[in-house]
Structure 1
Amino acid sequence: MTEHYEDEDEGPRERALSNLQVLGFIASFWLRRPWRLSWVVTFCLVSIGLDMAMPWAAGRMVDTLTQGPVLAPDAWRWWAIFIGLGVALAIVRNIRDKPWCQLAAFNMKEMTDAGFARVQAYSADWHADAFAGATVRKLSRAMWAYDQVSDAVVMWIGPALLVLVGLSVMMILRWPMVGLFSLFAVGLFIATNLFLISRFARPLNQRSVALDTRIGGALADSISGNAAVRSFGAEAREEARIAGVTSLWRDAVIRTWYSFTDIWLVQNLLLAFLQAGLTGLLIHLWTQGRATPGDVVFGVTAFMLMSGYLRNLGDNIRMLQKGLDDAEDLARYMRTGPQVPDRPDARPFAPGPGEIVFDRAGFGYAKSGRRLFNDFTLQIRPGERVALVGPTGSGKSTFVKLIQRLYDVDSGAIRVDGQDVAAVTQASLRRAIAVVPQDPALFHRSIAENIAYGRPDATPEAIEMAARRARAHDFIARLPGGYATLVGERGVKLSGGERQRVAIARAFLADAPILVLDEATSSLDVETEREVQAAMEALMEGRTTVIIAHRLSTVRNADRILVFEDGRILEEGGHDELVRRGGAYARLHAVTLGAA
Structure 2
Amino acid sequence: MAAAHYWQQIRREWKNVIPAFLLPSIGSVLVFYVPPLIVAKILVRFAENSAPELGQFIPYVILFVILWGLGEILWRAGLNFLIKAEVNGMRRLFNQAMDYLLVKDLAFFHDNFAGSLTKRVVSYSWKYTDLMDTLIFNVFTSYLPIIFVVFVLWQFSPWLVVGLLGLMLLSGLVVAPLVRRRQKMVAIRETASTAAAGNIADIFSNIDTVKAFANEQHEQKNHRHKIEDLAVKAKRSWDYQNLRIDVTLSPFFVLTNAVGLILALYVASHSRISLEVVFVTFNYYAGATRTMWEFNHVYRNIEWALTEAAQFTELLLEQPKVKDPARPKPFRAGKGEIRMQAVNFRYQEDGGEHLFKDFNLKIKPGEKVALVGHSGGGKTTITRLLLRFMDIESGEILIDDQNIAKVRQKDLRDSIAYVPQEPAMFHRSLSDNIRYGRLDATDKEIERVAQDAYATEFIDQLPDGYDTLVGERGVKLSGGQRQRIAIARAMVKNAPILILDEATSALDSESEKFIQAALWKLMKDRTVIVIAHRLSTIQRMDRIVVLEEGRIVEEGSHKELLKQDGIYATLWAHQSGGFLEE
The TM-score with structure 2 as length reference comes to: 0.91
Per-residue deviation, 1:534: 3.2
- Secondary structure at the aligned position of 1:475 is classed as helix
Per-residue deviation, 1:595: 8.7
Per-residue deviation, 1:273: 1.4
The residue type paired with residue 556 of structure 1 is Q
> What does residue 14 of structure 2 align with?
34
The reply to whether residue 563 of structure 1 matches residue 554 of structure 2 is: no
1-side partners of 2:232 and 2:442: how far apart?
55
2-side partners of 1:39 and 1:345: how far apart?
44
Alignment of 1:568-579 (within 5 A): 568-579=551-562
> What does residue 500 of structure 2 align with?
517
Distance 1:66 1:79, change over 3 A: farther
Q: 1:139 aligns with which of 113, 121, 134?
A: 121
2-side partners of 1:276 and 1:566: how far apart?
82
Per-residue deviation, 1:543: 0.7
Unaligned runs of 5+ in 1: 1-20
> What does residue 102 of structure 1 align with?
84
> What does residue 328 of structure 1 align with?
310
Per-residue deviation, 1:443: 1.1
Deviations 1:75-109 (A, max 9, x none): 65555444433222211111111111121112112
Structure 1 window deviating more from structure 2 (262-271 vs 117-126): it is 262-271
Per-residue deviation, 1:593: 7.0
> What does residue 341 of structure 1 align with?
323
Alignment of 1:244-393 (within 5 A): 244-262=225-243, 263-289=245-271, 292-346=274-328, 349-370=331-352, 371-393=354-376
Per-residue deviation, 1:366: 1.3
> What does residue 592 of structure 1 align with?
575
- Secondary structure at the aligned position of 2:389 is classed as coil
Structure 1 window deviating more from structure 2 (253-262 vs 397-406): it is 253-262
Per-residue deviation, 1:393: 1.8
Distance 1:436 1:66, change over 3 A: same
Distance 1:468 1:520, change over 3 A: farther
Per-residue deviation, 1:31: 1.8
> What does residue 227 of structure 1 align with?
208
Counterpart contact for 1:386–1:558, Cα < 8 Å: yes
Deviations 1:393-418 (A, max 9, x none): 22211111111111222223322223
Q: 2:465 aligns with which of 482, 490, 515?
A: 482
1-side partners of 2:337 and 2:71: how far apart?
72
> What does residue 180 of structure 2 align with?
198
Structure 1 window deviating more from structure 2 (395-404 vs 355-364): it is 355-364
1-side partners of 2:535 and 2:26: how far apart?
79
CA RMSD of aligned residues (A): 2.7
2-side partners of 1:361 and 1:40: how far apart?
59
> What does residue 11 of structure 1 align with?
none
Per-residue deviation, 1:586: 2.4
Distance 1:374 1:547, change over 3 A: same
Per-residue deviation, 1:290: 7.8
Structure 1 window deviating more from structure 2 (161-170 vs 106-115): it is 161-170
2-side partners of 1:123 and 1:155: how far apart?
41
Counterpart contact for 1:451–1:502, Cα < 8 Å: yes
Per-residue deviation, 1:269: 2.8
The residue type paired with residue 408 of structure 1 is D
Deviations 1:393-446 (A, max 9, x none): 222111111111112222233222233222322223212211111111111112
What's the % identity of the aligned pairs? 31
Distance 1:64 1:500, change over 3 A: same
The reply to whether residue 411 of structure 1 matches residue 368 of structure 2 is: no
Per-residue deviation, 1:61: 5.0
The residue type paired with residue 519 of structure 1 is E
The residue type paired with residue 21 of structure 2 is V
- Secondary structure at the aligned position of 1:203 is classed as helix
Distance 1:461 1:228, change over 3 A: same
Per-residue deviation, 1:582: 2.5
1-side partners of 2:475 and 2:276: how far apart?
75
> What does residue 581 of structure 1 align with?
564
Unaligned runs of 5+ in 2: none
Distance 1:278 1:359, change over 3 A: same
Deviations 1:175-227 (A, max 9, x none): 2332222112111233334322221x323322332222222222222222222
1-side partners of 2:433 and 2:277: how far apart?
74
Structure 1 window deviating more from structure 2 (130-139 vs 454-463): it is 454-463
> What does residue 25 of structure 1 align with?
5
> What does residue 3 of structure 1 align with?
none
Alignment of 1:466-481 (within 5 A): 466-481=449-464
Alignment of 1:433-512 (within 5 A): 433-512=416-495
Per-residue deviation, 1:117: 2.5
Counterpart contact for 2:164–2:285, Cα < 8 Å: no
The residue type paired with residue 17 of structure 2 is L
